[in-house]
Amino acid sequence: MATIRTRNRSREMLLRFAAYLTILVALILTLFPVYWIAANSFKFDIDIFAVPPEWLPRNPTLKHYDEAFVQRPFLRYALNSFLVAIGTTAISVTFGTMAGYALARFHYPWQWRKQISFWILSTRMMPPIVSIIPLYLFFNYFDMLNTKSALIIAYTAFNLPFATWMMKSYFQDLPVELEEAAIVDGDTRWGAFLHVALPLARPGLAATAIFCLIISWNEFLLSLIVTLTEQSQTLPIGIAGRVTQYATYWGEISAAGFMACVPIVIFAFIVQKHLVRGLSLGAVKG
Amino acid sequence: MLKSDKGTAAPLRLGRGMEQWSERHLRYLMLAPTVVILLALTIFPSIYMFYAAVHRVSPNPDLPWTFVGVDNFARLLTDGQFQVALRNTVVFTVVAVSIEFLLGLGLALLLDKFIRRLTFLKTVLMIPMMLPPIAVAITWKLIYEPQFGVLNEIMFRLGLPIQAWAGDVNLAMFSIIVADVWQWTPFIFLLMLAGLASLPVEPYEAAALDGASSWRQFWDLTIPFLKPVIAIALLLRVMDALRLFDLVFILTGGGPADRTKVLSLYIYQVAYRFADPGYAAAISLFVLFVTIVLSTWFMKRMRLAE
């Protein structure tokens, strides 16, 4: 008996050791690439090209930040990204919240609820590449290429289904009795939504909005198709534009790339409790 | 159940008719904007794309389109580049998602007990999948750089031959997959952790009493309980892998020798570089058809819409 217990305990210890070792390795593998882009953004060109690589920037410099954000229009790109993300998020969250609430609470004839939920989800599954041809021709026809409005319209196509499903799942978690009580007290159905359900869903609303901001901020393909001018291009397009056939401006793209990551990391920590739900479109409640 | 759901016994505030009307039809009014926007943004482009696919389309908007019938679809059968792109997409999707799944599930099983309360650490591990794909792409481009990249430095230190990685015919797809695995394994890991956290305790106690080995418990209890989460995770990953674009665009541009040319990139090239939107629309319809069939089958089976 005693030997079994000792064996179990040493097995337990071994498992624990293996687990912490794995976590450590995973942390290093996760963080190194992010560290590396940050480190290179603070190096002079000559140090970026150093062999063997300079693991820590020996001569830290802000030169590439100056190049990217002062001399070249990366600040403009970042602002475009930000404005487009805000516009998309505002539209998606407003309409998505209403639709999500409707799908969570109301009854419809002929299984409409199921059918419509399903259809909305399937629009989210649509690969963006398949919509670029019609969107391009459409924006071209209406003379909207190179505008931020075009990007907002295009991004709404995949952010709105996301917001709808997220909000649907948050509303489904709320007890319906509170809204019923409000109606008994004389509130309208709309009032019950506005004054009771919506305030209770506020954390979910915030998480959904942040996810929409992240999705729009990160988007690349649609922006690549729709925008060709500095006035409308987003940050990812600006970065990709400095990777050319002839030269890659490592310092500049490292600085811009790292700056593109910073808000995302902050957002990730703000929504950490909602990550599971957000990444599974509300399907898994973490 | 809410009475007003029936639309009959809504609280009767004798206000203006308009208010009553909107109250009675609230369930449609709240849904309408989303449905209208999504119809406009998905159904309309699909029809338009079909229209473009049966025409020879000039990129110049002033030139007329010529009707060509099913020609563009027929080209799919003989276009070698399309078949290469299709094969690359399938290879990438199968290999990358399999690795991410096995790695993510394995890590979750090993670390579940130890990391459950380490929320901060867990969030740090989730960072890669939140990052802009373009930033991830340039980061890996820097790591793979043949002359001064970190990876070749490590190879050199280990006494292994240095490689061109993303620039090597045989390693290019592998390089893309590694970057994707780096970014998306955390996603599977996170969902599996969530699944494991929601497992009921009783069946395991009963199984332990019956003397079931942990291997048996894993196959007979853990996997069946995790099935819905696994299904969602795989569905989302597969759909994402099928649309791979950013990584390839930056890391290889589809090369070398078309080894990493995937469908999204090929459509992009046909539409813009070869200036043939009609044919690009035909390929797009093919991709759309495949994803609809795949995701519908998946979602129906998993009853996701409920």
Q: Are residues B139 and B186 in the same domain?
A: yes
Residue B64 lies in a domain: no
A38-42, B16-20, B298-302: segment of lowest average pLDDT:
B16-20
- CATH number of the domain within which B145 lies: 1.10.3720.10
Residue B35 lies in a domain: yes
Tell me: the pLDDT tens digits for A205-237? Answer: 999 999 999 999 999 998 998 888 888 899 999
Question: What is the model's pLDDT at position B89?
Answer: 95
Quick check: ipTM above 0.85?
yes
| CB–CB contact B292 A160 (8 Å) | no
Residue of B48, B143, B277 lying closest to A33 (CB–CB): B143
Pick from B19, B44, B139 the residue to mutate for testing the A interface (most A CBs within 10 Å). B139
| Confidence band for B174, pLDDT divided at 50, 70 and 90 | very high
> Does residue B214 register a pLDDT over 90?
no
Residue of B114, B125, B292 lying closest to A30 (CB–CB): B125
Closest-CA residue of chain A to B103:
A26
Closest-CA distance of chain B to residue A248, Å: 10
Q: Are residues B112 and B208 in the same domain?
A: yes
Closest-CA residue of chain B to A52:
B153
Closest-CA distance of chain B to residue A177, Å: 9
> Does residue A251 register a pLDDT over 80?
yes
Q: Are residues B131 and B244 in the same domain?
A: yes
A174 contacts chain B (CB < 8 A): no
Q: Which of residues 180-239 of B touch A (CB under 8 A)?
A: 182, 186-187, 190-191, 194-195, 197, 229, 232-233, 236, 239
Q: Are residues B169 and B215 in the same domain?
A: yes
| Confidence band for B9, pLDDT divided at 50, 70 and 90 | very low
Chains A, B: CB contacts within 8 A come to 309
Question: What is the model's pLDDT at position B8?
Answer: 44
| CB–CB contact A261 B131 (8 Å) | yes
Q: Are residues B28 and B161 in the same domain?
A: no
A11-20, A44-53, B18-27, B296-305: segment of lowest average pLDDT:
B296-305
Q: Domain residues for B38? A: 2-43
| CB–CB contact B138 A114 (8 Å) | no
Q: Are residues B133 and B29 in the same domain?
A: no
**With contact defined as beta carbons under 8 Å apart, do A172 and A104 qualify?**
yes
Residue B272 lies in a domain: yes
Report the pLDDT averaged over residues B177-202. 91
**With contact defined as beta carbons under 8 Å apart, do B177 and B103 qualify?**
no
Out of A4-18, A81-95, A136-150, B108-122, the most confident range is A81-95
Q: Are residues B20 and B84 in the same domain?
A: no
A21 contacts chain B (CB < 8 A): no
Contact residues, chain B, for A180 at CB < 8 Å: 2
Count how many domains chain B has.
2
Q: Are residues B117 and B170 in the same domain?
A: yes
The span from the CA of A11 to the CA of B24, in Å, is 65
| CB–CB contact A127 B242 (8 Å) | yes
Q: Are residues B227 and B89 in the same domain?
A: yes
The span from the CA of B237 to the CA of B135, in Å, is 20
Chain position carrying tokens 């915030």: A206
A269 contacts chain B (CB < 8 A): yes
Tell me: the pLDDT tens digits for B56-66? Answer: 877 676 777 78
Residue B39 lies in a domain: yes
Q: Which two tokens stand for residue A62?
A: 């802000």
Residue of B34, B45, B128 lying closest to A99 (CB–CB): B34
| CB–CB contact B191 A98 (8 Å) | no
Report the pLDDT averaged over residues A1-25. 79
Phi then psi for B65, rounded to 5 degrees?
-90, 145
Residue B69 lies in a domain: no
> Does residue B6 register a pLDDT over 80?
no
Residue of B23, B126, B284 lying closest to A275 (CB–CB): B126
A179 contacts chain B (CB < 8 A): yes
| CB–CB contact A220 B33 (8 Å) | no
Residue B66 lies in a domain: no
Q: Are residues B107 and B222 in the same domain?
A: yes
Residue of B242, B271, B305 lying closest to A117 (CB–CB): B305
Question: What is the model's pLDDT at position A138?
Answer: 82
Residue B49 lies in a domain: no
Q: Are residues B153 and B258 in the same domain?
A: yes
Residue B265 lies in a domain: yes
A140 contacts chain B (CB < 8 A): yes
| CB–CB contact B61 A217 (8 Å) | no
The span from the CA of A260 to the CA of A206, in Å, is 21
Closest-CA residue of chain B to A142:
B61
- 3-state SS of B188-236 is HHHHHHHHHHCCCCHHHHHHHHCCCCHHHHHHHHHHHHHHHHHHHHHHH
Pick from A44, A93, A133 the residue to mutate for testing the B interface (most B CBs within 10 Å). A133
Write the CB contacts of A81 (distance below 8 Å, at least 6 apart in sequence).
A216, A217, A234, A235, A236, A260
Tell me: the pLDDT tens digits for A157-207? Answer: 889 999 999 999 899 988 888 888 888 888 888 888 888 899 999 989 999
What pTM, to 2 d.p., does this model score? 0.88
| CB–CB contact B121 A27 (8 Å) | yes
Q: Are residues B37 and B127 in the same domain?
A: no
